Amino acid sequence: MSNQSKGFFIACIGLLATISIHTGCGELRQKPNVVVLLVDTLRADHLKCYGYHRDTAPFLEELARRGAIFTQCYAPSDYTPASTASLFTGQYPLAHGYLNSHYVLAETHTTIAEIFQRQGYTTAGFIANGLAGEKYQMDQGFDHYFEKNRASAAELVAAASAFIEQQADEPFFVYLHFLDVHDPHRIPQEYHDRFADPADFAYDMQDTLQLDNFVMQAWWEAAQGWRDRTVGSDQVATYFADYVQLYDASISYWDEQLGALLDLLAVQGIDERTIIVVTSDHGEQFLEHGYFGHGNSGYQVGLHVPFIISDPLHPNIAGLQVDNLVNAVDILPTLLARLNWQIAPAVQGQERWSLLASDAPDATSESIYTEGTFMANRPFSTLIQTYREGEWKLLLDRLRDTKELYHLKEDPGELRDRFAEQPEIAARLYDKIRQYYNGNLQLFEQHQQSQMQLTEQKLQELRALGYITGRAGLQRSAKEFFPMKPVRLEQFGPFGDEEDLGRFSHAIDFFRGPVTWGQIIGGYSDRVGQRDSTGVWFDRRATFLLPNQPVGQRVVVELTIDPMGGADNPTQIEVKFNEQSSEVWALNGVGPYRFEAALPAFLQQSAFFYLTIEADSRFVIRKATSVRNDIYGAMRIRRLYLER
């Protein structure tokens, strides 16, 4: 008897003993239900079953004991859109093309929900993160759909429960995308008190504004090097210790809702024929490597995610711990293999079900490739690629042009870069990244081209029907068809041609020239990078990535300061190169400014540099009674260029 049929046999006996109303194995031959739970921003190493010292998720622990744990699963990117679409399609980010909020998941892709739909399942999605939602065409294939940005786990589980109660007699596929573990955390006090002495925690859990502020203060203070004057750097460690408690508490809040969902499946009598997968789209950095959050990292803390699968129809997998390297792009094909369904050639992930079903070693699971992150509106937006082979991991940051090599067994924290010491290993892994990247970039470009053709075809049809007349009409319609501003990937170029990294324009002219999104990499504003006829808006700080080939001698910045009011307005702007040197420009009220700064000599050694322009406080137009209701002004950067 194979493992598979043995499992089925055991499951039948178990079910016959406990569910008297069911008639026997004939009924059990109906397809199992599948529930996929994605807990946004859940670091694997903050779960006890992945070695954490706290029991943050007891219900998940119990589920993991009944199922199998993949101990070494990597998200393909540390950013929600790219990673979640990889889960849905089994493809790497460049191949599926939903890299960030400037893109959508094209309808031509076949998603996990569509596959289940075609197999006769009723499908349902419950989504708390808009980046995984309808606006980005991530709702493809769901018969029932609930999306509410920032919905709590309780809301999602309530909505899913209502669906499952209706659907209990027919096979279903349910996807839940939870956001509770993602900041800002809004959880009841009692969960927080499980991990922290309330007396040691100086924040009112009901005051979400205060929570937001403390996180933001810590972030700016520690990660960005900003000196807020109200926050001493000695407080940063305390902030982040507090923050981690809050993070863990939010896991335990989510976990209790998982418990409620598991209860419901049991009450409905379908728990014994429901496969459950738990994973995440990425981890979170708590200042390791100098950053807070996600979307900027190829380190373990950003990429190592849980992958737990429980399958009561295969009790033989219970308690298995699989240490092979796997990628979240493998989750879809693993489920397909479990269900004996065909895996389409477009799926790039490998099925890992056979790792559970047999003891045979699998040579394909000794290495992992990841490609991210493509965030277009946060500090340090870039393309980061990693390749891990055994214990060696190469990490490339294509825009910062850094190459790091780590030995994860000796150096799990990735603190000792051995790139220079191990040129042969580095070269081998480098070559692997090159192969993956060039292949995926080709898929991306083919895909973009066919999307453009489709759009042009649609426009022509509408023109022929007389819906589009004249230039103005065309512009409006074109905008409907191009809701997203594309990020220009050509700046990365085919891999291996280092000079391609130099393909930036040498001046950013916000009036005339194109704005390359990769160049505007930071600014603390909802409107960061937003452009109108007066420039690009930044509310206090703007960071740009600029080329210095050919080397310029001065940086020129033309900006306008918006109306200001009140007494606390900025009096100066500081300019920094690579955060290493600075110069201060005085502000004298509102109006246009033209500033110049000499380019420091040390930058002649690097192909690019970061330029940060930062006011000493936010531009306030009107002070309100709470910080949240203050009305802020902006500096609008009109032009930025290098001069000889």
Binding residues with Zn ion: total (CB under 5 A): 3
CB of 174 to Zn ion, least distance (A): 19
Measured from the CB atom, the residue of 255 and 311 that comes closer to Zn ion is 255
Dihedral (CA of 476, 478, 481, 486) sign? negative
Measured from the CB atom, the residue of 88 and 544 that comes closer to Zn ion is 88
Within residues 149-188, the interface with Zn ion by CB under 5 A covers none
CB 497 within 8 A of CB 598: no
Measured from the CB atom, the residue of 49 and 328 that comes closer to Zn ion is 328
Q: Cα 148 vs. chain centroid, distance in angstroms?
A: 18
Q: What value, to the nearest 5°, has the Cα angle with vertex 46 and ends 42 and 49?
A: 105
Say if residue 251 is exposed, middle or buried (CB neighbours under 10 Å; 0-12, 13-18, 19+).
buried
SS3 of 309-339:
EECCCCHHHCCCEEEEEEEHHHHHHHHHHHC
Kindly list the distances between the CA atom of residue 609 and the CA atoms of 133, 521, 555, in Å, as whole numbers in the listed order: 36, 12, 11
Within residues 308-327, the interface with Zn ion by CB under 5 A covers none
CB of 41 to Zn ion, least distance (A): 5
Give the span between the Cα atoms of 56 and 523, in whole angstroms.
34
CB of 294 to Zn ion, least distance (A): 7
Measured from the CB atom, the residue of 42 and 501 that comes closer to Zn ion is 42
CB of 307 to Zn ion, least distance (A): 16
In this structure, the chain runs to a length of 644
Owner of token pair 């990535």: 545
Contact range with Zn ion by CB under 5 A, out of 137-145, 188-196, 274-282, 589-597: 274-282
Owner of token pair 């594309």: 486
Instruction: Give the contact letters, 62-81, x = binds to Zn ion (CB under 5 A), - = no.
Output: ------------------x-
CB of 285 to Zn ion, least distance (A): 13
Contact range with Zn ion by CB under 5 A, out of 166-174, 242-250, 281-289, 535-543: 281-289
Dihedral (CA of 467, 471, 476, 479) sign? positive
End-to-end alpha-carbon separation of the chain, Å? 78
Measured from the CB atom, the residue of 281 and 397 that comes closer to Zn ion is 281
Measured from the CB atom, the residue of 293 and 315 that comes closer to Zn ion is 293
Measured from the CB atom, the residue of 45 and 630 that comes closer to Zn ion is 45
The bridge status of strand 608-615 relative to strand 33-39 is unpaired
CB of 40 to Zn ion, least distance (A): 4
CB of 304 to Zn ion, least distance (A): 14
* C-alpha gyration radius of the chain: 26
Within residues 32-51, the interface with Zn ion by CB under 5 A covers 40
Give the span between the Cα atoms of 402 and 404, in whole angstroms.
7
CB of 579 to Zn ion, least distance (A): 27
Give the span between the Cα atoms of 425 and 543, in whole angstroms.
34
CB 57 within 8 A of CB 252: yes
Give the span between the Cα atoms of 105 and 93, in whole angstroms.
10
CB of 486 to Zn ion, least distance (A): 22
CB of 377 to Zn ion, least distance (A): 15
CB of 384 to Zn ion, least distance (A): 16
DSSP 230: S
CB of 224 to Zn ion, least distance (A): 21
Give the span between the Cα atoms of 54 and 48, in whole angstroms.
6
Within residues 80-139, the interface with Zn ion by CB under 5 A covers 80
Please count the other Cβ atoms lying within 10 Å of the Cβ belonging to residue 601. Answer: 9
CB of 242 to Zn ion, least distance (A): 22
Measured from the CB atom, the residue of 80 and 245 that comes closer to Zn ion is 80
Give the span between the Cα atoms of 305 and 328, in whole angstroms.
8
Measured from the CB atom, the residue of 80 and 296 that comes closer to Zn ion is 80
CB of 289 to Zn ion, least distance (A): 18
Measured from the CB atom, the residue of 40 and 242 that comes closer to Zn ion is 40
Give the span between the Cα atoms of 643 and 355, in whole angstroms.
59
CB of 284 to Zn ion, least distance (A): 9
Measured from the CB atom, the residue of 80 and 327 that comes closer to Zn ion is 80
Residue 284 binds Zn ion, judged by CB under 5 A: no
Measured from the CB atom, the residue of 82 and 265 that comes closer to Zn ion is 82
CB of 123 to Zn ion, least distance (A): 22
Residue 281 binds Zn ion, judged by CB under 5 A: yes
Instruction: Give the contact letters, 411-430, x = binds to Zn ion (CB under 5 A), - = no.
Output: --------------------
Give the span between the Cα atoms of 545 and 519, in whole angstroms.
5
Give the span between the Cα atoms of 638 and 593, in whole angstroms.
10
Give the span between the Cα atoms of 13 and 313, in whole angstroms.
11
Contact range with Zn ion by CB under 5 A, out of 13-21, 23-31, 273-281, 425-433: 273-281
Instruction: Give the contact letters, 520-549, x = binds to Zn ion (CB under 5 A), - = no.
Output: ------------------------------
Instruction: Give the contact letters, 226-265, x = binds to Zn ion (CB under 5 A), - = no.
Output: ----------------------------------------
Kindly list the distances between the CA atom of residue 307 and the CA atoms of 44, 71, 74, 391, 643, in Å, as whole numbers in the listed order: 8, 7, 9, 20, 52
Measured from the CB atom, the residue of 281 and 404 that comes closer to Zn ion is 281
Measured from the CB atom, the residue of 64 and 305 that comes closer to Zn ion is 305
Backbone angles phi and psi of 634, in degrees to 5: -155, 160
Owner of token pair 């994973």: 279
Residue 558 binds Zn ion, judged by CB under 5 A: no
Within residues 187-226, the interface with Zn ion by CB under 5 A covers none
The bridge status of strand 535-538 relative to strand 531-532 is antiparallel
Q: Which residue is nearest to Zn ion (CB)?
A: 80
Say if residue 88 is exposed, middle or buried (CB neighbours under 10 Å; 0-12, 13-18, 19+).
buried
CB 275 within 8 A of CB 34: yes
Residues of the shown chain interacting with Zn ion in the complex, contacts defined by CB under 5 A? 40, 80, 281
